[in-house]
């Protein structure tokens, strides 16, 4: 085995680290030197697209595969005014030209592209797709001199590195995943296949331990607590004023698993020692269990999630255990030190995604997208597809003008949640339907009412489950599925406009637009989004309006500077 690895390292060392063409412009010049052909014409067209349409300087872009993947990942077909298929074609043409330019600079290899033993093995595979899928592995192993019976997880690791460094394919990790799946099925079902089961070379060790690995006493305590939290009894002080939602209960249980697993994985306790919640909230275990989740950031600034976990553990212990005041005070001191210094704030992912809306043209595209999606839907020949397109346009319009969470958006009922009053149409949600338990009433604008009436009158009846009461029906008469609704209000925008948005980001966008244009209306935003306090709006939904505030102040300072009354 040691000799095999040494041989592989020697072979890898023979592969040139530098490309014959260092930049994309070098690749373009290489293509220009090739004989006239359709392939040459198409490749040059792709390079013109990058330089003229995308506005890229080809002389400053290295032709390394990793750099090309990052380059194309940052390009958006809608923003460039082309179809996704056209951009994919450009990527393919540029990648192929780069690979051919590199291959032309290397000495010819007298060996066949696939060794005879690999060819014979692939011929035993009855599925053509699998033969194609395993072809890349066979070629790589031939190049490295690896026999089929010597393939291992280490081989896959080197193949992954090869794909990332030497190939311009879009998703090397996906290729590796498919290779593993194809190989393992052949190992199970193809006679004579090497008895080797493969797995991902990057698969991490499972950190979370299942609850059933811990003593049964911990599970019984969790069941008792969960039962109590989902029951509201005004005569029982141990039950909550409002019953916890199942998803909230699962969040608390997940925290127990994380902290208990951390104590075991880090060697502080054995699994058998985690007998109950009292073990987890013992001060030293409390600190050790949470420390792992705060260790990836600045020691003086623990992430907000760690504070939330600490609060959840303390809440469960107070409800289930008879802890004395001194014990609770010690936990409270730790929780206080974990609390974010600036209070709650917008998540980093949403903060980054909101930056795209600094572009006013993109904001206009977002606000006008329901009309765009409607026009696209009405051109569709199939009545069912047309109905689904109109439904998507309506869902996006309602999300834009209400900021409703997916849970509420998908569950809107025609008979109870949509209330007409003359020409007005109100979305009315009771306290029991809202996350904040505060009733909400929102008036829809006239253009959304028109779109809703069109959908209900002409298209909704064509959808499965339309005999039910829900505005967006599911196939079995219930509401539209959570993930289906999530996709309906996010995927079309990414596909056609290059806008990366999730359902919750609609709420942030509403707050951002108002904060930048009419900050005096932020109190209305708070009511519109169903927040129980303006503080929630301020802390969790604002934070990207700094440039707009700067422009406003700069304008004020400039006006003051030009004010003739201040001149002497």
Strands 440-443 and 418-421, bridge-based pairing:
unpaired
More confident residue, 396 or 294: 396
Identify the three-state secondary structure at position 102.
helix
Q: What is the pLDDT of residue 186?
A: 92
Mean pLDDT of the chain: 83
- In this prediction, residue 568 has a pLDDT band, given cuts at 50, 70 and 90, of low
CATH for 350-548, among 1.10.510.10, 3.60.40.10, 1.20.1600.10, 1.10.443.10? Answer: 1.10.443.10
Q: Which residue matches tokens 């006013």? A: 360
Q: How far apart are CA 398 and CA 438, in angstroms?
A: 20
Give the predicted TM-score (pTM) of the model. 0.64
80-84, 327-331, 492-496, 539-543 — which is least confidently predicted? Answer: 539-543
Q: How far apart are CA 466 and CA 494, in angstroms?
A: 28
Q: What is the pLDDT of residue 550?
A: 66
Rounded (5°) CA angle 351-353-356:
115
Q: What is the pLDDT of residue 7?
A: 43
Rounded (5°) CA angle 504-507-513:
140
Q: What is the pLDDT of residue 350?
A: 74
Count CB-CB contacts under 10 A for residue 130.
18
Averaged pLDDT, 366-390: 94
From the number of C-beta atoms within 10 Å of its C-beta (0-12, 13-18, 19+), residue 536 rates as middle
**Residue range 258-281, pLDDT digits in tens:** 999 999 999 999 999 999 999 999
From the number of C-beta atoms within 10 Å of its C-beta (0-12, 13-18, 19+), residue 234 rates as exposed
Q: How far apart are CA 417 and CA 415, in angstroms?
A: 6
Instruction: Name the token pair of 47.
Output: 């390079």
Indicate if the pLDDT at residue 298 is higher than 50: no
More confident residue, 379 or 292: 379
Indicate if the pLDDT at residue 562 is higher than 80: no
State CA 450 to chain mean position distance.
33
Q: Are 424 and 452 in contact (CB under 8 A)?
A: no
**Residue range 25-60, pLDDT digits in tens:** 989 999 999 999 999 999 999 999 999 998 999 988
**Residue range 87-110, pLDDT digits in tens:** 889 999 998 898 888 877 766 655
Q: What percent of the chain has pLDDT over 90?
A: 39
**Residue range 440-472, pLDDT digits in tens:** 888 899 999 999 999 999 999 999 989 999 999
Q: Shortest CA distance to 134 belongs to which of 100, 188, 203, 185?
A: 185
Identify the three-state secondary structure at position 306.
helix
């Amino acid at each position: 085995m040691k000799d095999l690895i040494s041989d592989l390292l020697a072979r890898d060392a023979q592969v040139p680290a530098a490309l014959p063409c260092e930049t994309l412009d070098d690749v373009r010049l290489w293509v220009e030197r090739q004989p006239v052909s359709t392939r040459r014409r198409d490749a040059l067209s792709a390079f013109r697209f990058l330089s003229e349409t995308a506005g890229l300087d080809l002389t400053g872009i290295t032709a390394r595969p990793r750099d090309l993947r990052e380059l194309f990942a940052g390009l958006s077909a809608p923003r460039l005014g082309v179809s996704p298929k056209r951009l994919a074609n450009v990527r393919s043409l540029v990648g192929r030209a780069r690979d051919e330019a590199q291959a032309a600079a290397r000495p010819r290899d007298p060996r066949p592209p696939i060794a005879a033993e690999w060819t014979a093995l692939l011929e035993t595979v009855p599925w053509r797709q699998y033969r194609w899928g395993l072809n890349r592995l066979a070629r790589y192993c031939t190049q490295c001199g690896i026999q089929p019976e010597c393939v291992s997880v280490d081989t896959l690791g080197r193949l992954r590195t090869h794909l990332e460094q030497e190939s311009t394919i879009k998703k090397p990790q996906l290729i590796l995943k498919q290779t593993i799946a194809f190989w393992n099925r052949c190992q199970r079902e193809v006679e004579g296949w090497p008895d080797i089961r493969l797995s991902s070379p990057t698969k991490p060790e499972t950190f979370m331990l299942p609850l059933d690995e811990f003593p049964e006493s911990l599970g019984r305590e969790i069941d008792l607590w969960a039962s109590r939290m989902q029951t509201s009894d005004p005569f029982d002080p141990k039950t909550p004023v409002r019953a916890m939602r199942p998803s909230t209960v699962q969040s608390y249980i997940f925290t127990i698993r994380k902290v208990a697993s951390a104590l075991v994985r880090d060697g502080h306790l054995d699994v058998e020692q985690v007998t109950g919640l009292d073990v987890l909230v013992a001060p030293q275990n409390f600190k050790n269990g949470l420390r792992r989740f705060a260790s990836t950031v600045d020691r003086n600034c623990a992430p907000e999630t760690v504070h939330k976990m600490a609060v959840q553990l303390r809440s469960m212990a107070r409800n289930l255990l008879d802890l004395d005041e001194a014990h609770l005070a010690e936990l409270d001191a730790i929780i206080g030190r974990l609390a974010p210094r600036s209070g709650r704030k917008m998540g980093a992912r949403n903060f980054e995604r909101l930056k795209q809306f600094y572009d006013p043209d993109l904001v206009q595209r977002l606000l006008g997208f329901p009309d765009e999606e409607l026009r696209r839907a009405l051109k569709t020949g199939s009545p069912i597809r047309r109905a689904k397109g109109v439904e998507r346009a309506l869902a996006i319009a309602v999300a834009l003008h209400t900021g409703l969470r997916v849970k509420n958006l998908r569950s809107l009922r025609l008979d109870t949640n949509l209330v007409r009053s003359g020409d007005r149409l109100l979305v009315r949600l009771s306290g029991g339907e809202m996350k904040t338990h505060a009733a909400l009433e929102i008036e829809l604008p006239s253009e959304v009412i028109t779109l809703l009436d069109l959908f209900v009158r002409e298209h909704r009846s064509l959808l499965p489950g339309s005999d039910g009461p829900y505005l967006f029906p599911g196939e079995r008469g219930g509401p539209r599925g959570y993930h289906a609704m999530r996709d309906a209000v996010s995927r079309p925008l990414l596909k056609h406009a290059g806008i990366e948005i999730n359902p919750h980001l609609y709420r942030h966008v509403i707050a951002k637009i108002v904060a930048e244009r009419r900050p005096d209306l932020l109190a209305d935003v708070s009511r519109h989004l169903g927040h129980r306090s303006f503080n929630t709006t301020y802390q969790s939904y604002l934070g990207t309006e700094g440039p707009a505030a700067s422009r406003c102040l700069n304008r004020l300072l400039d006006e003051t500077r030009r004010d003739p009354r201040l001149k002497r």
